[in-house]
Chain A
Amino acid sequence: MGTVTPLRTKEETFYPGVVEAPRFSCALGGAYMSTLATFGAVPILHSGAGCGMSQNFGQNFGAGLNGAGPNGNTSTPCSCLVEEHAVFGGEEKLRDLIKTTTELVRGSLYAVISGCVPALIGDDVGAVVKEYRGGAPVIHVNTAGFIGNSYKGYEQYLEAVIDQLLTPQPVVRKRVNILGIVPYQHVFWKGNLQTIKNLLEKIGVQANMIFTENDGLEALQSIPSAELNLVFSPWSGINPARKLEEKFGTPFVVIPSVPVGPKDTSAFLRFLVRRLQLRRTRVEKVIAAEEHRAYRFTEYMADIAMMALPHAYTAIVADTGTAIGLTRYGSNELGWLPEVVVVTDDPPEEYREEIINHLTEGLESAVKPQVHFEIDSHKIRLLLREHTLQLVLASSLEKHIAVDELSAMQVSVAFPVYDRLIVDRTYAGYRGGLALMEDVAYKYGGPL
């Protein structure tokens, strides 16, 4: 292996943004991915020519070898700005592009996403977009790569939808929206959304996934009709949830992570019984049946779990929500020892203490994880070396490091994942823990 020299301790001026391989793209990337995740929506990039295609490697392919779908990658309309536009302005080019796109590309919603170049040269993108109101809706996500990361772009997309598309609706009892699951950044986003929706359906709650709903525009437009917004992250998605509360009076609750395995899933359902005033007996019946089946099936994997990986010292390197869900499942159901957790999605300072609480409290394991917030892949590598580890649940950036430098097993569960195809795989819900164990055991499986 190559050598990695320790970091120097002192630096006169330190720039924490200068890092190796941070695990997200830019705000344009986040808004773009969210648009692609809205079925029927067509992104229109007002940007340099590479801003669409490059996200295909960095976001779609990075999220479990995914294709970008019918309107992503090189299928994405883009103004492909060059120097002369930077000098003379890109508005004319954008005007042509919106017109031709709406003529040529099938879509029920068009989202103009403006990037660094128009932001720097001062194009009035909002004014150009307004000219096209009338046919299929055209919204403008006013972002730029230098404004923030993918998570910011996800929120900006939803906020543009709220501001420009949504109108008040009669509230429907027992209808909720799912927020906080960020397309592609949360690599199991599709499966997570569907699992939560299906789960809620069983207890009589109608969930709007927004992303991957068959009719994306309708899903967006029905957002204000929800009784409650569920934010499945301690931080990501809270801004649009607040905006929905201000604008439509929809309250929101924060669920720290997508629940993994029976215990957290049942706790989540019981929480909804209280919050949505559901019939307790009906929900308890669902819980009993689901738990019975989940644990009966756990017996199928119990032998191999006990033989191969009992009480494993575990590192988790993931976004906040994934880290919380897997730490809790590993610690509270499988008996793993969560040694260290590295949170890689750069949550704002004000949420960090609470995230640490979610990661260290309510764990059955006597070992509580050391929690780090780190976006620098080099420093993450050095951090992991300080621990004795048997299992590393991380991104595929840790794939070879885990084996070669830590003598640990590794499974790719967080962005970026370049070593497995993730279509609708998920660790959410009653069956989620078993799915995780299937993936873990795939790496160490062998005869007794």
Chain B
Amino acid sequence: MSIDLKANTCPNREQRAGAVNAYYGKASDLVQEARNGTLTNKEREFQQSSGCVLNFYLTTRVVTIRDAVMIVHAPVGCSSTSLLYREVYRRIPLSEGRPADFDLHWLTTNIDEKDVVYGGADKLRFAIREAEERYKPKAIFVLASCTSGIIGEDIEGVVAEVQPEINATIVPVHCEGIRSRIIQTAYDAFWHGILKYLVKKDIPKQPDLVNIASMLSYTWQDRKEITRLLNRIGLRPNFIPEFATVEQFEILGAAAVTAPICPTYTDYLSRGLEQEFGVPCFMYPSPVGIDHTDEWLRTIARYTGKEKEVEVLIKEEREKWLPQMEKIQNEFASIKPNGEKVEILGSLGQGRLLTQVPYFEEIGVSSPAAIIQDFDNLVLDEVQGIIDQAGDFDVLVNTFQAAELAHITRKYDPDVALTCPFQGSAYKREKGATRIHALRGDARQWSAQAGYKGAIAYGNFLLQSLKNKAFQKTMLAKTPDSYKDWWYEQPDPLHFTKQKGV
């Protein structure tokens, strides 16, 4: 499906890519159903709060764009997540390369009872002018909400009306919470605004520039590692969107290639840049694990004419890091008697599924099942590739459904459960548990996951989780479970899912 930048927004992931977020079965069946076009999403009778199009990701990320202002056209609570804005990157030491001079801003239009009756267009107009006068930004992002959508706010109309008097480029983002069951629609809605309003045409190409859209569940150290590697072969990364400048968006079309860290996240941007600006892209692999980092670098090198340089780099890096990787492999191999592999279960985006399962293979651990937030037909070949490589496996598709995650974690009982604050009580258990990713703005070495350095750091990090289980065991013993016993005694994590599709 081509991208239509004349439209106000992207199609939902459901329409664009047949996305679902309720499925439990074999990965091979999931791929097959998606190929056959028979994969349908299901309505849950029991459901838990899991983020929305506005508030899974956008309010915490758009606000970090350094010389922009985010306006959330919504009731006051919809932007409360953005209260972290003045601190989120400030804890990164300047010595780690954090720019000293930046100042983030956002406004809420604070839609109230009067506005839902009479409309909030005047308020939004005022907010845009206020943003311009107060902060002199280069861009103003206007984020829609459930309420602005239901009361029928004409955001495009307001933007068209005030843009002539505003220096900043206004970027409307149609991220009404109710628009889609698939919160990953937020990525596309945001990239649509970027492609439509910010990326400049007809600017000189920068043949050494590599676009990298990075979800900062990959950390500051990952950025440093990727920068180090690209610099070694004469290339420069352009990391967007988090903590970027508006100019970094403007020059996206000048880059030599768009490389993935998370393909499901980057997809719409990558395709849009290719279609509209002729920037080639690739979706696989991501730079997680030694082998995939090699491949990721090689692919970038093909687009930038750095084939020779990259082989020198890879050779040197492998010499440096492989001995450490072997130590990690040996330690994992020695944990269980009789050569059994350590089992690790984590909840991932489908992008992370593609990076983490091969990484687990590399360090010599296995996954009894995969839990992925969403599944769509954008990555079918890649998932098939994983099945071919690692064998078929069970898949639970669910977006942060804590009860289902508690169920499946107990059912498969892996040696280590990878969790994050969105997985409820799944960390309370007799066996290992650790975090799947770090806090944003975490600049510590041990939080690295990407590149060669990250492959080693994350391997050692996972090993640590097998060395003491006191916290999760204590919490399991000393706190009551949120769910009644029968939940764990029946076999289906999707017990409360209606059979008919939606």
A2 to B270, CA, bound (A): 32
Q: Give CA–CA (A296, B85) in the complex, Å.
A: 42
Q: Which of B31-39, B198-206, B448-456, B477-485 forms part of the interface with chain A?
A: B477-485
The distance in angstroms between the C-alpha atoms of A54 and B102, with both chains bound, is 25
Asked if A314 is an interface residue, CB under 8 A from chain B, the answer is no
A116 in the interface, Cβ–Cβ < 8 Å?
yes
Comparing B219-227, B238-246, B396-404, the segment that makes contact with chain A is B396-404
Return the CB mask of A1-38 against B: 1 if under 8 Å, else 0.
11111011001011101111111111111000000000
> B12 to chain A: closest CB distance in Å?
9
Residues of chain A lying within 8 A (CB to CB) of residue B83: 21, 23, 57-58, 62, 397, 416, 418
- Name which residue of chain B comes closest to A16, CB basis: B110
The residue from A61, A75, A146, A149 contacting B115, defined by CB atoms under 8 A apart: A146
For B273, list chain A residues within 8 Å (CB): none
**With A50-B55, A79-B47, A147-B113: A116-B147 Cβ-Cβ less than 8 Å:** yes
Contacting residues, chain A, for B51 (C-beta < 8 A): 49-50, 53-54
Beta-carbon contact of B110 and A17 below 8 Å: yes
Most chain A CB inside 10 Å of its own CB: which residue of B77, B84, B106: B77
A74 contacts B422, C-beta separation under 8 Å: yes
A21 contacts B401, CB within 8 Å? no
- Total CB contacts across the A-B interface at under 8 A: 267
| A24 nearest CB across to chain B (Å) | 7
Q: Are B150 and A5 in contact (CB under 8 A)?
A: no
A436 at the interface (CB under 8 A from B): no
Would you call A45 an interface residue if the criterion is a C-beta within 8 Å of the partner chain's C-beta atoms? yes
- In contact, B103 and A4 (Cβ under 8 angstroms): yes
Whether A24 and B481, one on each chain, are in contact in the complex, defined by CB atoms closer than 8 angstroms, is no
Check: A353 CB closer than 8 A to any chain B CB: no
How many A residues touch B, CB cutoff 8 Å? 86
Q: Chain A residue with minimal CB distance to B177? A: A48
Is the CB of A51 closer than 8 A to any CB of chain B? Answer: yes
Is the Cβ of B135 less than 8 Å from the Cβ of A74? Answer: no
| B87 near A25: Cβ-Cβ < 8 Å | no
B177/A378 in contact, CB under 8 A? no
Which residue on B lies nearest to A378, using beta carbons?
A: B134
Tell whether, in the assembled complex, residue A399 and residue B86 are in contact, meaning their CB atoms are under 8 Å apart. Answer: yes
- Asked if A104 and B150 sit within 8 Å, CB to CB, the answer is no
What's the least CB distance linking B148 to chain A, in Å?
A: 10
Flag B413-425 by CB within 8 Å of A: 1 or 0 each: 0000000011111
Tell me how far the C-beta of B417 lies from the nearest C-beta in chain A, rounded to whole angstroms.
Answer: 15
* B150–chain A nearest beta-carbon distance, Å: 5
What per-residue 1/0 map shows which CB atoms of A54-75 lie under 8 Å from chain B?
1111110110000100110111
**Closest Cβ–Cβ distance, residue A370 to chain B (whole Å):** 23
Q: Which residue of A lies closest to B405 (CB)?
A: A74
Give, as a whole number of angstroms, the nearest-CB distance from A84 to chain B. 8
Contacts of B43 in A (CB 8 A): 93
The smallest beta-carbon distance between B114 and chain A, in angstroms, is 9
Chain A residues, CB < 8 A from B87: 396-397, 399-400, 418-419
Complex Cα spacing A26 to B80, Å: 8
Task: Determine whether the beta carbon of A17 is less than 8 Å from that of B112.
Answer: yes
Q: Scoring B residues 139 to 182 as 1 if CB is less than 8 Å from chain A, else 0, what string do you get?
A: 00000001100110000000000000000000000000111110
Give the segment of B122-130, B286-294, B386-394 that binds chain A: B122-130
Q: Does A120 contact B (CB under 8 A)?
A: yes
Q: Would you call B116 an interface residue if the criterion is a C-beta within 8 Å of the partner chain's C-beta atoms?
A: yes
Residue with the greatest number of chain A CB neighbours at <10 A, chosen from B45, B75, B80, B84: B80
Q: How far is the CA of A134 from the CA of B346 in the complex (A)?
A: 40
Q: Are A48 and B146 in contact (CB-based, < 8 A)?
A: yes
Q: How far, in Å, is B151 (CB) from chain A's closest CB? A: 7
Q: Mark B198-240, 1 if CB is under 8 A from A, else 0.
A: 0000000000000000000000000000000000000000000
Binding site for A on B (CB under 8 A): 43-56, 59-60, 74-87, 90, 101-103, 105-113, 115-116, 122-123, 126-127, 130, 133-136, 146-147, 150-151, 177-181, 183, 400-403, 421-425, 479-484, 487, 496, 502
Between A and B, 15 residue pairs with Cβ closer than 8 Å are: A4-B103, A5-B133, A20-B105, A29-B80, A54-B59, A54-B78, A54-B81, A77-B46, A79-B47, A80-B50, A99-B45, A103-B484, A145-B147, A146-B113, A399-B86
A interface with B by C-beta (< 8 Å): 1-5, 7-8, 11, 13-15, 17-29, 45, 48-59, 61-62, 67, 70-71, 73-86, 93, 96-97, 99-101, 103-106, 116-117, 120-121, 144-150, 378, 396-397, 399-401, 416, 418-419
Q: Which 7 A-B pairs have the closest CB atoms?
A: A2-B103, A52-B49, A58-B80, A26-B77, A50-B52, A50-B55, A145-B75
